[in-house]
Amino acid sequence: MSRFRLKNLPISRQILILFMALTSILGLGLGFGYPLAVKQYLVNNTYALLEDELYTLSEHITFNEKNELLTVPATAPYFLQLLLSRYEYSFDMIVYSTDGRHLGSRTSGRISYEDSMDLFREAASHPSGKIRHGSLERRDESYLFVSKKMDYHGFPYYIVLFSKEQELNQINAILTRQFLLVFSLLLVFSWVLAIWFSGYLSKPLRSLEELCKKIARRQFDIPLTMDRGDEIGQLARSFDSMKNQLKEYDESQRHFIQNISHELKTPIMAIQGYTQGLIEGVFQGPQAEKGLTIIMEESKRLEKVVGQLLYLTKIESVAQMMQLGRVDLSEMFQLLKLRLSVLNPQIEWKLDLPASLVIEGDGEQLSTAFVNLLENQLRYAKSRLVITGKQEGQQVIISICNDGPPIEEALLPQLFQRFRKGKSGKHGLGLAIARAVFEAHDGTIVAANAAEGPCFTMTIPVKPSE
């Protein structure tokens, strides 16, 4: 049997288990810690209240001529009376002479002679003039007490105020039961809330799971509406964006198959037709030579299309490693001008580039991409080709414009897809290759119709990310 793993359970169950475990641990901690904390709090406050009561009573203590304690009024503070009104709790007082003789008391119950004398010894063992805090442990009963040596007109005496610890324990038990009752109700309520909350979180995730399964079955026309502003809503919007991109990619792949079939079918049919004619002797003499020439031209055309497809696949491959090095784009465009200006000598080249425009990249791939762009521009330009470049921060921006006719607006969104070409285009692979090269360098390419004519703008980082 495989080991139990929390991560293998549904996320709603994980949330519920973790929340219940956390609250249970918290409840156990409070169940053990709360009574101890309350007990310590009651003990500390008992000492403080006993000390306050001692000072209050000392102001009302008087003796007669025989040094006997006169009646002491009940002077417990109103706050203390209100606080303890619901509980059986009392302060007791005993007054001793310095030799241990019992001078008087105010007690709510009997205290044994042995306990009384032990309280006196505890009081007398403390330096005079200072209040003593202490406890007297007994098998049947324990006491918390405060004591101090006092003086009444030259007559020294000890005053001891004490309280039974059992009464504190009873108060502690009552408070603890009340707390645990309230905490248990809150715990049950929080568990019910956790059950609802776990379902609330897992429901949209299950919807996303169903959407993923439908996307896997190539069902892209399913709307995803999730009106949430949290991370789940962001995830849903990312899924919707992914769905749209996959739909677009799926459609582009279908167009790609259709277009490549057309591009390859034409030269293949021409080659087959002329070859069959030569075999059957239909073409003789000059016609045979013309047929062979056409076969050679169509085979070269076929070879070029296949070569470009292989190159495009190589560039787009994740495993393809670029040969990075120092590339001066200003120098590259000067060389490309010398190389390509002969294709259309009537076109004026205007280069607006800094003396040096250095990036880190694959010079061969970048050269291929710019050649494809420039050949495209020279094919449509009327009289002028303008190339500008500059560096902004850690990016280089290159713009290539011509004064030819504008690009069809319907064609702009698909311009860089495979086999998407204008009326004068060749194979429709050059711009797709250019886009793949720039994206491999973490860059971008966009096309737009500007005032001066169609423009292609490339943004390339000075140094590609690792």
Q: For 405, which DSSP code?
A: P
Please compute the mean of the pLDDT values over residues 345-372 and round it to a whole number: 88
Please compute the mean of the pLDDT values over residues 184-191 and round it to a whole number: 81
pLDDT for 398: 92
pLDDT for 425: 45
Please compute the mean of the pLDDT values over residues 62-87 and round it to a whole number: 60
Instruction: Give the residue with greater pLDDT, 466 vs 265.
Output: 265
285: left (phi over 0), alpha (psi -120 to 50) or beta: left
Q: Are 194 and 216 in contact (CB under 8 A)?
A: no
Q: Among the ranges 55-64, 204-213, 322-331, 414-423, which has the highest mean pLDDT value?
A: 322-331
Residue type, 287: Q
Confidence of residue 46 (pLDDT cuts 50, 70, 90): confident
- How many C-beta neighbours within 10 Å does residue 324 have? 14
Confidence of residue 459 (pLDDT cuts 50, 70, 90): very high
Confidence of residue 40 (pLDDT cuts 50, 70, 90): confident
What distances in angstroms separate CA 218 from CA 212, 238, 284, 298, 456, one per listed residue? 10, 17, 54, 37, 34
**Is residue 445 over pLDDT 80?**
yes
Confidence of residue 3 (pLDDT cuts 50, 70, 90): low
pLDDT for 296: 81
pLDDT for 418: 56
**Is residue 397 over pLDDT 90?**
yes
Instruction: Give the residue with greater pLDDT, 419 vs 394.
Output: 394
pLDDT for 121: 86
pLDDT for 137: 81
Domains in the chain, ordered, with CATH?
Answer: 8-171 (3.30.450), 231-316 (1.10.287.130), 325-461 (3.30.565.10)
pLDDT for 79: 46
Residues near 149 by Cβ (< 8 Å), separated by ≥ 6? 98, 123, 126, 128, 129, 156, 157, 158
Mean pLDDT, all residues of the chain: 77
Confidence of residue 1 (pLDDT cuts 50, 70, 90): very low
**Is residue 434 over pLDDT 60?**
yes
Q: pLDDT over 70 for what percent of the chain?
A: 79
Distance CA 19, CA 113 (A): 57
Confidence of residue 318 (pLDDT cuts 50, 70, 90): very low
Q: Among the ranges 87-101, 159-173, 403-417, 442-456, which has the highest mean pLDDT value?
A: 442-456
Q: Are 443 and 458 in contact (CB under 8 A)?
A: yes
Least confident of 94-103, 115-124, 202-211: 202-211
**Is residue 4 over pLDDT 80?**
no
Please compute the mean of the pLDDT values over residues 17-32 and round it to a whole number: 78
Distance CA 89, CA 100 (A): 27
**Is residue 303 over pLDDT 90?**
no
Positive or negative: CA dihedral 122, 125, 128, 129: negative
* Partners of residue 350 on adjacent β-strands: 386
pLDDT for 90: 65
**Is residue 446 over pLDDT 80?**
yes
Confidence of residue 258 (pLDDT cuts 50, 70, 90): low
Least confident of 12-16, 151-155, 158-162, 196-200: 12-16
What the block records as the tokens of 223 is 């709307």
Give Dmax over CA atoms of the chain in angstroms.
160
Count of helix runs (H) and strand runs (E) in the chain: 9, 12
Closest of 58, 149, 42, 156 to residue 106, by C-alpha: 58
Least confident of 133-142, 183-192, 224-233, 363-372: 224-233
What the block records as the tokens of 136 is 């007297």
Q: What 3-state class would DSSP assign to 37?
A: helix
Within a 13 Å sphere around the CA of 50, how many CA atoms are in the beta-carbon half?
30
**Is residue 449 over pLDDT 50?**
yes
Q: Are 157 and 103 in contact (CB under 8 A)?
A: yes
**Is residue 206 over pLDDT 80?**
no
DSSP 318-384: TTPPP--EEEEHHHHHHHHHHHHGGGSTTSEEEEE--S--EEEE-HHHHHHHHHHHHHHHHHH-SSE
**Is residue 167 over pLDDT 80?**
no
Distance CA 13, CA 19 (A): 10
Residues near 371 by Cβ (< 8 Å), separated by ≥ 6? 336, 340
DSSP 135-176: EE--SS--EEEEEEEEEETTEEEEEEEEEEHHHHHHHHHHHH
Closest of 387, 366, 389, 376 to residue 436, by C-alpha: 366
pTM of the model: 0.44
- How many C-beta neighbours within 10 Å does residue 37 have? 12
Confidence of residue 387 (pLDDT cuts 50, 70, 90): very high
